[in-house]
Amino acid sequence: MNKALAVLGLIIPLTLLYIIYTGSYSLFELLLGVIVAIIVGYLFADAVVKHPGKIYNPIRWFWLLIYGLYYLTIIEAKAHWGVIKLIINPKKMNPGIVRIPYYVKTDYAAVTIANSITNTPGTVVVDIDEKNKKMYVHWIKIIDTTDEGARKHVSETFEKYASKIFD
Amino acid sequence: MYELVEAIIYYVGIVMVILGGILDLIASIGMNRFKNFYLRLHAATIGSIGGGFYPLIGIGLVVLTIHSLGTMKYYVAGIAFTTAFFLLITAPTGSHALAQGAHRAKIVLPEPAVVNRLLEDEEKVEGGE
């Protein structure tokens, strides 16, 4: 039962992705998309999905939508503007590697935080210590060198949304 | 009303494409002005997100409003949107691999650096053994 739910939870997004990618909804494309999605979903369900109930939770999808919109407009725009200012005037920068702890439980949430940090210009994750739950982040303009202070400036927003979506 | 919405989508797409070109230019200037590998990674991020992701979304939006293409517009828009999505989730993977590899191999040091917690912790581990 658990496995069937997990496979179904993969089939729906995979088919949707295929339909968007091909841009046509003829019977042939639909059938091909569904068949390939069933095969892929069956093969990868064990590795990719651990708690199938989370896929069917609309609140998580709602937070994912809110986070996607907020991240792609406001956060990205601010980060781009910060680095563009530094490119115009490189003397103002203050680079270094800071240590940032994270408190989420699942791997998906940790990956979301790391990808969000790297995708904003100005911060790049250099290394991750999974045992002690710490990320080492190269930050181009350091404001705070302490662990908690750096977390407040770099990853607190990402972590708030990631724990709502994946934990 | 429908035409107004379409015109807004069209101009938003055009603005995104032009902005992407400007950001690509700024990123390449940054690549030349920053003198260290880690600093250049930040300029590369501007190139991949501001100069890669947003123009692709813009192309998708623009194409959706051009009716002379017929059903072809859905193909182009679909491919643009899915490419943008995969760029967004795979671009950081390359940056992570490059940064971690450069630091572990000790080929480049992040200089100038105010603090380097990673080096401090690595030395602590080596000293403890």
Q: Using one digit for the tens of pLDDT, what is the confidence trace for A59-118?
A: 999 999 999 999 999 999 999 999 999 899 888 888 888 889 999 988 899 999 999 999
pTM attached to this predicted model: 0.87
| Tokens matching residue B22 | 């400007």
Show contacts of A85-90: CB within 8 Å, 24+ apart.
Answer: A86/A122, A86/A140, A86/A141, A86/B30, A87/B26, A87/B29, A87/B30, A87/B33, A87/B34, A87/B43, A90/B33, A90/B34
At residue B127, the pLDDT reads 67
How far A132 CA sits from the closest chain B CA (Å)?
A: 12
pLDDT band at B115; cut points 50, 70, 90: confident
Average pLDDT rounded to a whole number, residues B98-125: 80
Average pLDDT rounded to a whole number, residues B44-66: 92
A127/B115 CB distance under 8 A: no
Measured CA to CA in angstroms, residue A74 lies from A78, B39, B74 at distances of: 6, 23, 28
CATH class of the A89-166 domain in this structure: alpha beta
Q: Which residues of B touch A83 (CB under 8 A)?
A: 30, 42-43, 45-46
CA distance B62 to A136: 40
At residue A15, the pLDDT reads 92
Choose, out of A14, A18, A65, A80, the residue to mutate when testing the contact with B (most B CBs < 10 Å): A80
Q: Which residues of A touch B119 (CB under 8 A)?
A: 97
Q: Using one digit for the tens of pLDDT, what is the confidence trace for A13-41?
A: 899 999 999 888 889 989 999 999 999 99
Q: Using one digit for the tens of pLDDT, what is the confidence trace for A129-152?
A: 888 888 888 888 888 888 888 888
pLDDT band at A45; cut points 50, 70, 90: confident
Cis peptide before B55 (omega within 30 of 0): no
Which secondary-structure segment (H or E) carries A62? helix A58-70
Structure ipTM: 0.86
| Tokens matching residue A34 | 């569904």
Which residue ranges does chain A devote to CATH 3.30.70?
89-166
Ramachandran class of A133: left when φ > 0, alpha when ψ lies in -120 to 50, beta otherwise: left
| Tokens matching residue A50 | 């651990």
Q: Using one digit for the tens of pLDDT, what is the confidence trace for A68-82?
A: 999 999 999 999 999
How far B3 CA sits from the closest chain A CA (Å)?
A: 23
Closest alpha carbon within chain A to B43 = A121
